[in-house]
Amino acid sequence: MELIKNIFYHYGFGLANACVALLLIYFGIKSKRKNLKIFLFNFSAVFIALFAFETFDYVRSLFNYTTNSPVGAKYSGTFFNNLALTGPKKGLGYGPRNDTSFCATAQRFNKEELIYDVTYCFEKGHRQTPNSKASAKKKVWFLGCSFTFGDGLNDTETLPYYFNEYSGGSFNVTNLGFSGYGTHQALQSTELNILNSEYNKGDTGIVVYSFIPEHFIRAAGKSSWDINGPWYELENGQLVYKGGFEARNYFKENYISKRLKSVWHSSFLYRSFFTPKASAVDVARVIEILKTMNFKLQQKGIKFYLVVTPEKQKEELYNTFTKELAQTKIPVFYADSILPNLYAPSNNYFIAGDGHPNKNYNIKIANYLAESIFKSEQVQ
């Protein structure tokens, strides 16, 4: 069953093209009209070419697996396909339910090789941080995606956990990060979970948001999995919240449309020519969201810090982003400055066969953050 499911999702588009080509050839053979016969045979060549294109990539991926390839990766455990974790969530689109506390297992395999086998524990809609001090007046909230959440890591290996370790365990820590989240969810989490929390201005409050360039695309609603996330647009230079991404759709998503979209997004054709790209508008949107977060947190007396992990190859839009970010006066920590030669294999900062940060990355970043934030004069 797992093999059939894998073939359907990762090779379904190729098989669909093969079926269409066979149908066209069949009707071409049956047709008694010469011109129609020629048209059907010639038209079938298009689908034969697409079938060959998809077959080439599928076979290549099976024998030359990379972390970016959808073929060969297998996930198991109670974390995946769990509606208590990935079901609808007010304001955020999806995420862990607020009314339950539980632990979930997660394993990843590349073909038959085990990449990780971990346990994630949740409470009140977010991942637990075991060394959090609930009674502390010093509060720190971590926002972000899988980098913050800690994909592939146990609860005692995440960035929030190590930050509190290097801060002497003196913080009440809340990890609001989750897999696939972007800057738009960071702002919504700020408004729903931080600004509305029981926090007194006399207390110490810190927010740390971990940003990666893919958040440009996610905040624009271009991610296939985030169909109900918070939708922000720039109108006359102002950031406007317009509800959820579903409000942009003419047709409501259903089970069949979701499956068909998944097959299309897994195709080699889509990944080669139709993968969403970030634009200057997407960068401007993220900048305005960050400025809004910073302003609202300052009004509450909470300090806002940004951790930026660039891609291996920095694009021009990223350079534009860093220049505009510098003008916001938001304190920024760049991971490639903290960790020189960030992507050098010998430094071992990422989970092999997966690509997410490992415990070594989190230890060094957390230690630097603790020294720069908690142990400095900025936090008393």
Q: Is the pLDDT of residue 68 over 60?
A: no
What is the DSSP code (8-state) at residue 347? Answer: G
pLDDT class of 63 with cuts at 50, 70, 90 = low
pLDDT computed for residue 189 by the predictor? 97
The pLDDT confidence band at residue 376, using thresholds 50, 70 and 90, is low
Per-residue model confidence (pLDDT) at position 377: 43
Q: How far apart are CA 311 and CA 129, in angstroms?
A: 27
Question: Do the beta carbons of residue 318 and residue 213 sit within 8 Å?
Answer: yes
- pTM as predicted: 0.89
Per the CB < 8 A criterion, the answer to whether 282 and 219 are in contact is yes
Q: Which of 149, 153, 150 is nearest to 126 (CA)?
A: 149
Measured CA to CA, the distance from residue 61 to residue 54 in angstroms comes to: 11
Within its chain, how far is the Cα of 322 from the centroid?
20
Q: What value does the mean pLDDT of the chain take?
A: 90
**Tens digits of residue pLDDT in 271-303:** 888 888 999 999 999 999 999 999 999 999 999
Indicate whether 103 pLDDT > 90.
yes
DSSP 63-77: HS--TT-SSSEEEES
Please give the Cα distance from 196 to 22 (Å, whole number): 59
pLDDT digits (tens, 9 = 90+) for 26-51: 999 999 899 999 999 999 999 999 99
Q: How many CA atoms lie within 13 A of 279 on its CB side?
A: 6
Nearest Cα neighbor of 213 from 352, 364, 315 is 315
